[in-house]
A and B are shown apart, each in its own frame.
Chain A
């Protein structure tokens, strides 16, 4: 039962453009959502998070949007840079319990 789904295994974006990574969830008990970024041969690193009481959170070039009615969140990266090429994982937490991760989306930024 995949409670957190990232339906795009990969995404390719031109440098300078916007990258939009999507994530859907099924469990309405999820109240905290996070995005992690992972480079090869390294562990995931925390990028940005959002509580279910908000619908948007911004940190520099990264913005996360949450649509609770659609059970959908997205990560926007503007402008995209070559160093953003990595695997991005969406994760969700039901009431300060364990994190449930999606399968990841590999983002490639082309020069």
Chain B
């Protein structure tokens, strides 16, 4: 158990809909990262927050947005969903702003039908 929790575990929704994925980092970790893993693909970095502020951005679509709250939990919002958004979404956390040695949650599997 990495100490990073993600909810929900599974999500099935229809095209055009909007969903919110939630992540609670390990106790004491200030950075939260979001990744997308599509079928047979590596992990694609989406976005990083450090202590409530956006720190780095990767290949995140404009339809996706994230935020980190004062209690350090984070939410990833996916809107106008398309079939291609079906993937595993992982959240990770680390103590500092550096992305080294991140601890990953178990992931949320999103299926868009």
A and B pair up: yes
Please state if A99 and B102 are interface contacts (CB–CB under 8 Å): yes
CB of B52 within 8 Å of the partner chain:
no
Of all chain B residues, the one with the shortest Cβ separation from A33 is B100
Residues of B59-87 contacting chain A, CB below 8 A: none
Could you give 8 example pairs across A and B, Cβ below 8 Å? A41-B106, A43-B106, A45-B2, A46-B101, A93-B100, A98-B48, A98-B56, A99-B33
**Docked pose: A80 CA to B1 CA in angstroms:** 23
In B23-71, which residues have CB < 8 Å from any A CB?
Answer: 33, 35, 40-45, 48, 56, 58
Q: Which one of B33, B40, B99 lies within 8 Å of A103 (CB-CB)?
A: B40
Q: Which of B48, B56, B97, B104 contacts A43 (CB 8 A)?
A: B104
What is the interface residue range for chain B against chain A?
Answer: 20 to 34
Q: Please determine whether B45 and A43 come into contact, CB atoms closer than 8 angstroms.
A: no
CB distance from B89 to the nearest CB of A (A): 11
- A75 interface residue per 8 A CB criterion: no
Number of A positions contacting B (CB below 8 A): 24
A36, B90: Cα distance in complex, Å: 14
The CA of A46 and the CA of B45, in the complex, are separated in Å by 16
B99 touches A98 (CB 8 A): yes
**Given A96-B98, A97-B56, A98-B58, A46 contacting B43 (CB threshold 8 A):** no
Chain A residues 88-104 with CB under 8 Å of chain B are 89, 91, 93, 96-104
B4 within 8 A of A: yes
